[in-house]
Amino acid sequence: MIVLGLATALLSLGATLSAAAAAPPVTPRESAQKASSKCSNVQFTVSATAQNVKFVSPPDPKNATAILAFLGQALSTGVPTNGTQTVSGDWIINGVYCKPTVTTRPGGGGVLQFLVHGSFYDKSFWSGVGQGALYDYQAFANLAGYHTLAIDRLGHGSNPQRPDPIDVVQPSLGIEIIHQIIAAIRGNTKRNALDRGFSKIAYVGHSHGSMLGQGLAARYPLDADASVLTGYSQTPNLVKFAENKLGPAAVLRPTQYAGQPLGELVSVNGTAFIAGFYGPAGSFDAGVARCDVAVQATTSVGELIGAQILGPAPAYVNPLLVATGVNDNYFCATPVAACNAILANVHSAVFPNVAKFEYAAIPFTGHVMQLSYSAPVTALRIQLFLDKFF
C-alpha cells in the first residue's frame, strides 16, 4: 500500500512538472518554510563538546583576502594543523518537524527521517526552497508515512548564533550536535522539542550533510537505524569545487548577511554556481536555479576544510543507500557506468561492514538532486529503500 501510494504521488508530482516550470520562481527563502498544519517550527538547545581541528596559522578573521587564500591553499595542497582543540557550548538549533499525512507506518511509534542539508542551503532545502511540490522532499516522505525533521546546521539558516566559521563551525562539532539531538528524541520520551520520542530514526543527508552522516556513522554507529547519503561519494573533486569562486557573504550580500563573520561564504558568480551545482541544460528549471542563487545560504570555511579529515565507518552495520546524480560535478562522473563504479566503491572504502548496501546513480541529474526535474525519482528511490527496513 505504501509503494502504491508513492507511485501515485510520483505520477501526481510529475504531472505538475510543466506547471512548475512555467510558474514564476518564489524568491524569499523564508517562504519555503512549511506552513502545513502537519508541520511546526521547533528549536533545540544542545550542549555539545568536540575536538575540532587546530590550524597552525589560521587567517585573520577580519581579513577577507587572507581567509580566501587560506581556503584556497587548504583545498589544493592542504594547510598545517596541530592536533585538535576543545570546542564547547550551548547551541541553538532550529528545525521544521512534519508529521505524516497518511496513517502512521506499522510497527509502533513511527519512523523519523532526520534531514541535514548541504553547503549553501538551510533546512528549507528539504521543502524545495519555496519552488513547489515537485521539489518538496518532506511532503513526499510525509505522504509515505514518515515523520521528518529538517534542521539548520550550526551557524546557518535561522539559527541565532554565528560562531567562528573557521575554528568552531567544523564537522566534528556538527557531528556532536546531531548526535545530541538524536539522543534527545530517541526512545519513549517527551523531553525534547518534538514532544515525543522515536525508536526508529533514518538519517538522510545531502552533500555536506551526507559527509556529516559519514562522520556520525563512524563515531556513533548506532545513532541511525538506516542512512541515506545523497549528493555524495568518498572521492569529492576538490579541484572542481574550487572553480566555484567564493567570497564573504557579508561583503557580497550585505542586505542578507550584514554583520556575519567573513569566513561565512557565498558564491561570487551565480552563473558559475549553476554550472557547478546543477546538471545539463534541460535537467532543471532555469528559473528555480536563478532563485536558488538569489536566496543562497552560506557555507563556512571550517566546514569545507574539516570535511577532508572524515574517515571510514567500519563499525556502522545498518542499511545504507548512496544516491548521487550522474552529472554531479563534485561527487560522480559520466557516463552512468563510471558513476556506478564510484558509488559502488563507497561500500568497501567507507562502510565495509554494511550488509544491506545499495547505490543509485540518478541519470541526467546534477549535484542538487532535490532541485532537479528528477527530484521525485530520487525521493521515490529513497522511500522504497527505507520501506524495506521500517
**What are the boundaries of each domain within the chain?**
2-325+337-387
Q: What is the DSSP letter of 164?
A: -
Average pLDDT over residues 210-229: 98
Residues 133-185 have pLDDT tens digits of 999 999 999 999 999 999 999 999 999 999 999 999 999 999 999 999 999 99
Helix (H) or strand (E) holding 13: helix 2-15
CA distance between the termini of the chain = 14
Q: How confident is the model at residue 240 (pLDDT cuts 50, 70, 90)?
A: confident
**Which of 103-107, 231-235, 291-295, 357-361 is predicted with the least confidence, judged by mean pLDDT?**
103-107
137: Cα separation from own chain's centroid: 12
Average pLDDT, the chain: 90
Predicted model pTM? 0.91
Residues 368-388 have pLDDT tens digits of 999 999 999 999 999 999 999
Say whether pLDDT at 3 is over 60. no
Say whether pLDDT at 26 is over 80. no
Q: Is the dihedral of CA 149, 321, 297, 274 positive or negative?
A: negative
Residues 66-94 have pLDDT tens digits of 999 999 999 888 899 999 999 999 999 99
Cell 530517541 maps to which residue? 186
Radius of gyration of the chain (CA): 19
Torsion angle of alpha carbons 345, 350, 351, 357, nearest 10°? -30
pLDDT score for 191: 80
CB distance 67 to 262 below 8 Å: yes
Nearby residues of 226 by Cβ (< 8 Å), 6 or more positions away = 202, 203, 318, 319, 320, 321, 385, 386, 389, 390
- What type of residue sits at position 197? G
Q: What is the DSSP letter of 153?
A: P
pLDDT score for 106: 67
Average pLDDT over residues 263-292: 96
- What type of residue sits at position 67? I
Residue 368 grid cell? 542538487
pLDDT score for 36: 59
DSSP 16-50: THHHHHHSPPP--GGGGS--STTEEEEEEEEEEEE
Share of the chain above pLDDT 90, in %: 82
Q: Does domain 2-325+337-387 have CATH number 3.30.420.40?
A: no
Distance (Å, whole) CA 340 – CA 355: 18
Q: How confident is the model at residue 256 (pLDDT cuts 50, 70, 90)?
A: very high
Say whether pLDDT at 107 is over 70. no
pLDDT score for 108: 52
Q: How confident is the model at residue 10 (pLDDT cuts 50, 70, 90)?
A: very low
pLDDT score for 177: 99
Residues 280-316 have pLDDT tens digits of 999 999 999 999 999 999 999 999 998 877 899 999 9
Q: How confident is the model at residue 102 (pLDDT cuts 50, 70, 90)?
A: confident
